[in-house]
Structure 1
Amino acid sequence: MRHGKKFNHLGRTDSHRKAMLANMATSLIKHKRVTTTLAKAKALRTYVEPLITKSKDDTTHSRRTVFAYLKDKDAVSILFREISEKVATRPGGYTRIIKLENRLGDNAEMAFIELVDYNEIYGKKAEVEKKSTRRRGGSKKKATETVAAEATEVVKEEVDAPAAEETPATDAPATEDKKED
Structure 2
Amino acid sequence: MRHGDKINNLGRTASHRAAMLSNMTSQLIMHKRIVTTLAKAKALRKYAEPLINKGKENTTHQRRVVFSYLQDKEAVTELFGPIAEKIGGRPGGYTRIIKLGIRQGDNAERAMIELVDFNEIYGKGKGEVKEAAKKTRRSRSTSKKADSTEAAAPEAPAAE
| CA radius of gyration, larger in | 1
Helix, strand or coil at the partner of 1:99: strand
Q: Which string of whole-angstrom CA distances, capped at 9 and with x for unpartnered residues, describes residues 30-87 of structure 1?
A: 0000000000000000101000110101000000000000000000000001100100
- Give me the TM-score of the superposition, normalised by structure 2: 0.78
Cα distance in structure 1, aligned partners of 2:83 and 2:6: 29
Percent identity, aligned pairs only? Answer: 67
- Out of 122-131 and 5-14, give the one that drifted further: 122-131
Shift of 1:129: 7.9
Tell me the residue number matched to 1:53: 53
Cα distance in structure 2, aligned partners of 1:87 and 1:115: 10
Q: Does 1:66 align with 2:66?
A: yes
Shift of 1:128: 5.6
Cα distance in structure 2, aligned partners of 1:129 and 1:6: 42
Shift of 1:2: 1.2
Tell me the residue number matched to 1:13: 13
Q: What is the identity, as a one-letter code, of the residue corresponding to 1:17? A: R
Tell me the residue number matched to 2:75: 75
Alignment of 1:70-149 (within 5 A): 70-127=70-127
Q: What is the identity, as a one-letter code, of the residue corresponding to 1:27? A: Q
Q: Which runs of 4+ in 1 moved over 2 A?
A: 125-131
The gaps in structure 1 that reach 5 residues or longer are 132-181
Q: Which string of whole-angstrom CA distances, capped at 9 and with x for unpartnered residues, describes residues 85-119 of structure 1?
A: 10000000000000001000111010000000100
Helix, strand or coil at the partner of 2:35: strand
Cα distance in structure 2, aligned partners of 1:127 and 1:109: 31
Tell me the residue number matched to 2:157: none
Cα distance in structure 2, aligned partners of 1:30 and 1:128: 27
Tell me the residue number matched to 1:139: none
